[in-house]
Amino acid sequence: MSKQYETVIGLEVHVELATKTKIFCGCSTAFGAGPNTQTCPVCTGMPGSLPVLNKQVLEYAIAVGLATNCDITRYAKFDRKNYFYPDNPQNYQISQLYLPICQNGGVEIETEEGGRKTVGIHEIHMEEDAGKLIHDEWEDCSLVDYNRSGVPLIEIVSEPDMRSAEEVIAYLEKLRLLIQYLGASDCKLQEGSMRADVNLSVREVGTEAFGVRTEMKNLNSFRAISRAIAGETERQIDLLESGEKVVQETRRWDDAKGESYTMRSKEDAQDYRYFPDPDLTPISVSDKMLAEIREKQPEFRDDKMKRYKAEFDIPDYDIDIITQSKHMADIFEAAVALGAEPKKVSNWLMGETLRLMKEREVDAQDLRFSPAHLASLIRLVDTKAINSSVAKEVFEVMFEENVDPEQYVEEKGLKTVNDEGALKKAVEEVIAANPQSVADYRGGKEKAIGFLVGQTMKAMKGKADPGAVNRMLKELL
């Protein structure tokens, strides 16, 4: 390759909002229901049905707009985007083209070189999701489930400001955190509650004009995004190098095959005939509405990190991890507020919590144990009511079922036995039963005491304080 190329990337990010109901009807958005059990005339496009906007959708959209430094459009409208597809029951999608709710924003990301750059946000608009198509091999047909039809989405359209997969991922992480902090969505790529379409073109380094871009869909992990960007960059450069032209089109990424293919057909005119939806009234965002939403904005991550550094004596690394999820940060702060020592709370989160999250594939936002229970577990350890290995055992149950540790320890009889007599009896028995180890210890093998401690703990069914056992052994030997 003789020429030097640069990749230019813009993103269209769809985020499913965490409302209880759909954008234009009172159907539930709960995940995992039987096909078409969460549908009604509105979201199946029955003749004569009409949409009415869910207020929460507008509030979330504005909140995300404020968090991403957008101008909020004070007079916004919904438009119809017309195209035929079976997952789109009206054969038009209600979306926003002419007056989207948020415009001209941007977020700052860290670049690979450690610098900072702003990725511009062209607009954020509200729209409805489509249903789900399932292929039926047996009948050689497709089946449509409209449960997802009408689930509220916001689409965040960036400027073509990114130049690498790393920047794309940094941008997506930034959006994910902002939106999760707002509670507007759980933003899970794998489950489709956050979806990114990549608009990509290449140009020779030093040129001003953009190349012809393609849009890539079906990217449901950071890994897929990275691979698709690499693949598409290469494909476009190859085309240009061999004197061919890049065609503006939509392509579908097949992550298993590691390649993309065109989604264009002659039946696809890509002429959406947008026009204002006459069934919905315009939206006028008042100062009051805006002030109320602004009032409710949470402390975002950057501010939270700064405050943690000032307030808590915990390592920067811990702060970084804890604040990556608002839910985890909430647990941390609440447990500390209940009197637990910040360092100890942090240790539980960084240690056992992360270990179990990894082992059981649980997202931080799905952690179930309450801060009160974590605080009381820490208190149990502090007061030596339980020893640390019992604490870990209890925590595992808390992690799964959010049990109250005090009650649990009580019920299961896990409290450390502080009965001197019982301990002395156990130690004496262990000494009597293990003459070899006793001899070793007395002969100067300090390590042999470890074995004896273990034996005593075993005899005490784990409910002794290992420090006390150690002391007692040394005393009797």
Partner 1 sequence: MCITDMTAVELAAAIREGKATAVEALQAVLTRIEEKDKELNCYVTVDKEGALKQAVQVQEKIEKGELTGPLAGVPVAIKDNLCTEGILTTCASRILRNFVPTYTAKAVVNLQKAGAVILGKTNMDEFAMGSTTETSAYGVTRNPHNTEHVPGGSSGGSAAAVAAGECFYALGSDTGGSIRQPASYCGAVGMKPTYGTVSRYGLIAYGSSLDQIGPLTKDVRDCATVLEVIASHDDKDSTSLVRQDTDFTKALVEDVKGMRIGIPNDYLGEGLDEEVREAVLQAARVLEAQGAVVERFDLSLVEYAIPAYYTIAAAEASSNLERFDGIKYGYRTEEYTGLHHMYKKSRSEGFGEEVKRRIMLGSFVLSSGYYDAYYLKALRVKALIKKAFDEAFARYDMILGPVAPTTAPRLGESLADPIRMYLGDIYTIAVNLAGLPGISVPCGQDSKGLPIGMQLIGDCFQEKKLLRAAYTYEQYEKK
Partner 2 sequence: MANIISDETIEYVGILAKLELSEAEKEQAKKDMGRMLDYIDKLGELDTTGVEPMSHVFPVQNVFREDVVTNGDAREQMLSNAPQEKDGMFMVPRTF
Contact positions toward partner 2, by CB under 8 A?
19-21, 25-28, 34-41, 44, 46, 52-58, 77, 82, 84-86, 133-136, 139-146, 266-267, 269, 271, 273, 275-276, 278, 280-284
CA–CA gap between residue 327 and residue 368 (Å, rounded):
10
278 binds partner 1 (CB under 8 A): yes
Identity of the residue, 86 or 351, whose beta carbon is nearer to partner 1 in the bound complex:
86
CA 243 vs. chain centroid, Å, equals 43
Least separation in angstroms between residue 253's CB and partner 2 is: 14
Residue 50 interface partner, choices partner 1, partner 2, none, CB cut-off 5-8 Å depending on type: partner 1
Residue 48 interface partner, choices partner 2, partner 1, none, CB cut-off 5-8 Å depending on type: partner 1
Q: Pick one of 1, 4, 32, 48: the residue that binds partner 1 (CB under 8 A).
A: 48
**Cβ atoms within 10 A of the Cβ of 31, count?**
14
- Rounded to the nearest 10 degrees, the angle between the axes of helix 388-401 and helix 371-382 is 170
Least separation in angstroms between residue 57's CB and partner 2 is: 8
Identity of the residue, 273 or 442, whose beta carbon is nearer to partner 2 in the bound complex:
273
Residue 340 interface partner, choices partner 1, partner 2, none, CB cut-off 5-8 Å depending on type: none
The end-to-end CA distance of the chain, in Å, is: 79
Write the CA distances from 362 to 111, 188, 329, 354, 366, integer angstroms. Answer: 28, 12, 16, 9, 6
Structure-block tokens of residue 73: 């459009």
Angle at 56 between CA 50 and CA 61, to 5 degrees: 100
Least separation in angstroms between residue 115's CB and partner 2 is: 41
Is there a contact between 155 and 124 (Cβ–Cβ < 8 Å)? yes
Identity of the residue, 267 or 295, whose beta carbon is nearer to partner 2 in the bound complex:
267
279 binds partner 1 (CB under 8 A): yes
CA–CA gap between residue 454 and residue 442 (Å, rounded):
17
The three-class DSSP label of residue 12 is strand
Q: Pick one of 34, 47, 435, 443: the residue that binds partner 1 (CB under 8 A).
A: 47
CA–CA gap between residue 377 and residue 347 (Å, rounded):
13
Residue 136 interface partner, choices partner 1, partner 2, none, CB cut-off 5-8 Å depending on type: partner 2
**In this chain, which stretch among 153-161, 182-190, 221-229, 264-272 interacts with partner 1, using CB under 8 A?**
264-272
- Nearest-10 Cα torsion for 450, 454, 455, 460: 140
CA–CA gap between residue 429 and residue 458 (Å, rounded):
12
Question: Which residues neighbour 280 within 8 Å (Cβ) at sequence distance 6 or greater?
Answer: 51, 52, 53, 77, 78, 94
**In this chain, which stretch among 47-55, 160-168, 400-408, 437-445 interacts with partner 1, using CB under 8 A?**
47-55
**In this chain, which stretch among 69-77, 90-98, 256-264, 395-403 interacts with partner 1, using CB under 8 A?**
90-98
CA–CA gap between residue 217 and residue 196 (Å, rounded):
7
The three-class DSSP label of residue 356 is helix
Q: How many of the chain's residues bind partner 1 (CB under 8 A)?
A: 30
Binding positions for partner 1, 298-357, rule CB under 8 A = none
**In this chain, which stretch among 68-76, 79-87, 194-202, 430-438 interacts with partner 1, using CB under 8 A?**
79-87
CA–CA gap between residue 245 and residue 239 (Å, rounded):
6
Least separation in angstroms between residue 203's CB and partner 2 is: 32
Phi/psi at 5 (5° precision): -110, 155
List beta partners, residue 204: 5
Least separation in angstroms between residue 404's CB and partner 1 is: 44
Least separation in angstroms between residue 45's CB and partner 1 is: 5
Residue 284 interface partner, choices partner 2, partner 1, none, CB cut-off 5-8 Å depending on type: partner 2
Identity of the residue, 94 or 364, whose beta carbon is nearer to partner 1 in the bound complex:
94
Residue 378 interface partner, choices partner 2, partner 1, none, CB cut-off 5-8 Å depending on type: none
CA–CA gap between residue 291 and residue 253 (Å, rounded):
42
56 binds partner 1 (CB under 8 A): no
285 binds partner 1 (CB under 8 A): no
The footprint of partner 1 (CB under 8 A) covers 41, 44-53, 80, 82, 84, 86, 89-92, 144, 265, 267, 271, 273-275, 278-281
